[in-house]
Amino acid sequence: MYRYDTIDREMLADRSAEFREQVERRLAGDLAEDQFKPLRLMNGLYLQLHAYMLRVAIPYGALNPTQLRKLAWIGRTYDKGYGHFTTRQNLQFHWIKLADTPDILDHLASVDMHAIQTSGNCIRNITADPYAGATAEEIDDPRVWAEAMRQWSTLHPEFSFLPRKFKIAITAAPKDRTAAKVHDIGLVVRRARDGQLGFEVMVGGGMGRTPYIGSTIREFLPANRLFSYLEAILRVYNRHGRRDNSYKARIKILVAALGAEEFARQVEAEWEKVGASVDLPDTELARIRGAFAPMSFETLPAVSEAHEAAKASDPAYARFVRNNVKPHKKAGYGIVEISLKTVGETPGDATAEQMEAVADLAERYGQDDIRVTHEQNLVLPHVRLDDLPSVHAALRAAGLASANINLASDIIACPGLDYCALANARSISVAQHIAQKFADPDRAERVGELKIKISGCINACGHHHVGHIGILGVDKKGEEFYQLTLGGSGAEDAAVGQALGPALPYDRVADAVDTLVETYLRERHDGERFLDTFRRTGVAPFKEAVYADVH
Amino acid sequence: MKALTANRLTDGEVVFWRQGQWVERFAEADLFAGDDPAGEAAEGRAKTQVLVVVEPYLIDLVESEGLWAPLSYRERIRALGPTNLNHGKQTEGGAAIAALKHAHGASRSTGRVDLIRRK
C-alpha cells in the first residue's frame, strides 16, 4: 500500500497542532461555537446526540494491520471499545470528547491517518473497489488512481470551499462494488482497442433528497489527462453550483438543470483552458504505482487439499466459502469478505477486539492488507486457500464468521436516530429486526442476493435509494415511520428505487420486508434475483402483498 | 411541562438544567410549567454559558409512570442512550430510567427543528 512521505507526515503534524490550538481557543472562549464549528468539521468532528463523533478517513478503504490496531486502541481508550465502519469506507467513533480529540489526531497521525476532508464542502474520501489488486476482473489497479486523486484533492485550495460536498468513486472492474453511478463523479477504468488506458467519466449521480444516476459525459478519457479533466469538472461546478440553496447545491442538480450534454460542453471548453499542465507527470504516476506493486504471490495449485477437505467436512465452513470467499486473480488464493452484519449486532460496528483479530489475520495470512467496503464490511484481499480454514476458525472465534455477504441480513444501515443529530428515525434496530427474519442461513441462501439499505433520514447515508429494498425513516408528527422503495441498485445496473406505498410504522417494517421476500419467492423464475423479479413484474404484486397484510 | 437540555462543550454529554447548573440525569432536571416564563428565562441564561454547553433548548415533557419524560422520541433517546446497545445513561437503571423507557407520546424535537432551521 501507499506509504506517506516526509511531506505527508509534516502536513499531518502541522494540521494536528493547528487543531489542538483551535480546541484550546474554543475552550478558553477565544473562539465562539459558530467560529469553531467549521474548524472542527474540517477535522471530521461532529456533535451528535450523545457525544462528539469523529470520522476518520480511510483512503479508498485500505488499511494495514498497524492502522487497524491503532483504530482498535483509540476505540478502547477514547470511545466505548468499538468503531463504526461507514458507507464511505471510513470509520466513525461515536463517543468522543472534544478535549481528547487533539490527542486522538496525534495518534492517528502516528500511523499516517487523519480525519481531514471527512466533512465539509470539499472533496471527500475517494471510494475504490475493495477487491482492487486482487480480482482478475480489473483492467488496472484503481488504488493507483485513487491515491493520486487523494494527493491532488487533499487541501486543494481551489476546491476546499465548494458549493457542497463532493464524492468520487473509481472502479476498474465490470462488477461495480463502489456505487460509482451514484457519486458526484464516477470513474470506470477502460482500455481502448489500441491498449490505451482511460476512464469513462460519469457525473451528477447522487442520493439525498433528489436521487440521480450519473450521466456519462465522456466515454473515454485518456488516463494521462485525468487531472486536467477533473479540474475542469470541478471548476464548472464551483462556478455554477447553487451556493444559494444547500438543498440544490450538489453537482447533480447543476447537471440536471443544464442537461448532461450542455454540462459536458462546458467541461470540454474549460478543459481546453486548463490545458495539460496540471496533469500527473508520468514519473509521479510511476512512483505512486510502485507503492501498489503486485504482491509476491506464491505459485500454488488451483485446488487446495486442506480447503477442499474442510469444505467437505464442515458445513459452516462450506457456507462461509459459498458466500464470503470470492475468486482471486492468482490460483490458490481467495478474497475473503468479513461480514460486520452478524444477526443481532449493529451493522458496520466492530469491537476493538474484533479489529485486532482482523489485523492479526491480515498480518499472518493476508499480506498485511485490509479493505473496508462501502457496504460496511471488511475484506482480506489475499488469502491462500490453504490458510482459509485457519482464517475461518479465527473469525469464528472473534464472532466475525457470518456467512451472509450479499444476502438479506447483509444490510447497510446508517447510525440513525440512535446517534445522529440529523436523523428522523432509527435505522439500526430496524436492520436488526429484519436480519432476525433471515437468521436461518438456509432461508437466507434460498432467497439469494438481496440488498437492503436503510437510512434514518433523507440525507441517505444508508443508500436506501439504491437498495433492492430501500427503507427511509421519516418523521410523522414526531413518530417513526418508514417509506419502502423497491428495485434500486447501486451496482453496474444502477437504478433509483420505486416507492412501494404509504409509509409504515416502526413495528411493521420487518414483517413487510418478510412479505416482500415471500412474494419474490412466489413470483421468481429460475435464476432470478429479487431485483430481476421486481424488474420483470413491477411493483404491483409486492404492493398488493404488503398492504393487504397491513390493512 | 418543559425541561432545558444541551450538550456539554467539553465532551458532548447530554445535560439538563438544574438551578443554573447542568446535570447529566434527566431525573434531576428542573421542570417548568408550559406557561411559566422561568423556562424561557433559563434558556436565555443558558445561551450565555457558551463555555459550558452548546445549543441549549427547551423540550416538552409527558407524564410516564407518575414521573415526567421527554415527549419526543429523539429526546428520550438523548436522555437514555442509544437503543441498539445498553451503554448510555440507561445503564444506571431504576424507576426514573424505567419511566423514560416506558414513556409514550410523540412530537418533533425542538433540537432537531432548530438544527434544520439553522441549515
SS (H, E, C) B41-86: HHHHHHHCCCCCEEEEEEEEEEEECCEEEECCHHHHHHHHCCCCCC
B86 interfacial to chain A (CB closer than 8 Å): no
Cβ contact A355:A155 at 8 Å: no
Amino acid A324: pLDDT: 98
Residue A294: burial class (beta carbons within 10 Å; 0-12, 13-18, 19+)? exposed
* Distance in Å, alpha carbon of B97 to nearest chain A alpha carbon: 16
Query: Could you give the 3-state DSSP secondary structure of residue A94?
Result: strand
Residue B64's φ and ψ, nearest 5 degrees, are -145, 120
Q: If we measure between CA atoms, which residue out of B2, B3, B7 comes closest to residue B18?
A: B3
Per the CB < 8 Å rule, is B12 touching A26?
no
pLDDT band of residue A549 (cuts 50, 70, 90) is: low
Cell numbers 494536528: residue: A16
- Report how far apart, in Å, the C-alpha atoms of A294 and of each of A105, A132, A329, B32 are: 31, 11, 11, 67
Cβ contact A387:A325 at 8 Å: no
DSSP codes, A175-239: S-SS-GGGSSEEEEEEE-TTS-EEEEEEE--B-TTS-BPPEEEEEEEEGGGHHHHHHHHHHHHHH
DSSP summary character for residue A125: P
Helix or strand holding residue A78 (H, E) = helix A65-78
CA A488 – CA A496 distance, rounded (Å): 5
Of B10 and B87, more confident: B10
Per the CB < 8 Å rule, is A426 touching B78?
no
> Which residue of chain A is at minimal alpha-carbon distance from B71?
A478
Per the CB < 8 Å rule, is A49 touching B14?
yes
**A55 Cβ partners below 8 Å, 6+ apart?**
A44, A45, A46, A86, A90, A91, A92, A115, A118, A119
φ/ψ bin of A527: left (φ > 0), alpha (ψ from -120 to 50), beta (otherwise): left
Per the CB < 8 Å rule, is A27 touching B50?
no
**Which cell numbers in the block locate residue A298?**
506464491
Per the CB < 8 Å rule, is B73 touching A480?
yes
pLDDT in tens, A479-500: 999 999 999 999 999 999 999 9
Mutate to test the interface with A, among B112, B114, B117 (most CBs of A within 10 A): B112
Query: Could you give the 3-state DSSP secondary structure of residue B21?
Result: strand
Cβ contact A313:A305 at 8 Å: no
Specify the pTM: 0.97
pLDDT in tens, A66-103: 999 999 999 999 999 999 999 999 999 999 999 999 99
pLDDT in tens, B31-42: 999 889 999 999
A422 interfacial to chain B (CB closer than 8 Å): yes
Q: If we measure between CA atoms, which residue out of A537, A339, A317 comes closest to residue A435?
A: A339
**B107 Cβ partners below 8 Å, 6+ apart?**
A477, A478, B60, B71, B72
Mutate to test the interface with A, among B15, B55, B73 (most CBs of A within 10 A): B73
- Residues of chain A in contact with residue B115, where contact means CB-CB under 8 angstroms, are 421-422
- Report how far apart, in Å, the C-alpha atoms of A215 and of each of A185, A209, B40 are: 9, 18, 51
Who among B12, B74, B111 is closest to A97 (CB)?
B12
* Distance in Å, alpha carbon of B79 to nearest chain A alpha carbon: 9
B101 interfacial to chain A (CB closer than 8 Å): no
Per the CB < 8 Å rule, is B9 touching A98?
yes
- Residues of chain A in contact with residue B107, where contact means CB-CB under 8 angstroms, are 477-478
B110 interfacial to chain A (CB closer than 8 Å): no
In the chain, the amino acid numbered A340 is L
Cβ contact A357:A394 at 8 Å: yes
Cβ contact A70:A113 at 8 Å: yes
CA B93 – CA B99 distance, rounded (Å): 10
Amino acid B119: pLDDT: 58
- Report how far apart, in Å, the C-alpha atoms of A210 and of each of A148, A528, B36 are: 30, 29, 43
- Residues of chain A in contact with residue B112, where contact means CB-CB under 8 angstroms, are 421-422, 424, 475
Per the CB < 8 Å rule, is B12 touching A98?
yes
CA A167 – CA A512 distance, rounded (Å): 33
B83 interfacial to chain A (CB closer than 8 Å): yes
Strands (E), A456-528: 469-476, 479-486, 498-499, 504-505
pLDDT in tens, A223-249: 999 999 999 999 999 999 999 999 999
> Across all residues in chain A, what is the average pLDDT?
97
A30 interfacial to chain B (CB closer than 8 Å): no
Residue A527: burial class (beta carbons within 10 Å; 0-12, 13-18, 19+)? exposed
Whether the predicted pLDDT of A551 surpasses 60: no
Cβ contact A31:A25 at 8 Å: yes
Amino acid A468: pLDDT: 98
- Residues of chain A in contact with residue B77, where contact means CB-CB under 8 angstroms, are 49, 417-418
Whether the predicted pLDDT of A22 surpasses 90: yes
Amino acid B102: pLDDT: 93
Cell numbers 481502448: residue: A192
Residue A43's φ and ψ, nearest 5 degrees, are -110, 25
**Which cell numbers in the block locate residue A97?**
470528547
**Which cell numbers in the block locate residue A356?**
485486532
> Which residue of chain B is at minimal alpha-carbon distance from A425?
B74
Cβ neighbours around A502 below 10 Å, total? 12
Amino acid B104: pLDDT: 87
CA A371 – CA A129 distance, rounded (Å): 9
Percent of chain A, pLDDT > 90?
97
Mean local confidence (pLDDT), A159-173: 97
CA A285 – CA A307 distance, rounded (Å): 39
pLDDT band of residue B106 (cuts 50, 70, 90) is: confident
- Residues of chain A in contact with residue B54, where contact means CB-CB under 8 angstroms, are 33, 47
Amino acid A3: pLDDT: 87
pLDDT in tens, A99-113: 999 999 999 999 999
Cβ contact A189:A504 at 8 Å: no
CA A355 – CA A362 distance, rounded (Å): 11
Per the CB < 8 Å rule, is B81 touching A50?
yes
Residues 15-54 of B with CB under 8 A from A: 50-51, 54
CA A305 – CA A307 distance, rounded (Å): 5
Who among A99, A346, A478 is closest to B106 (CB)?
A478
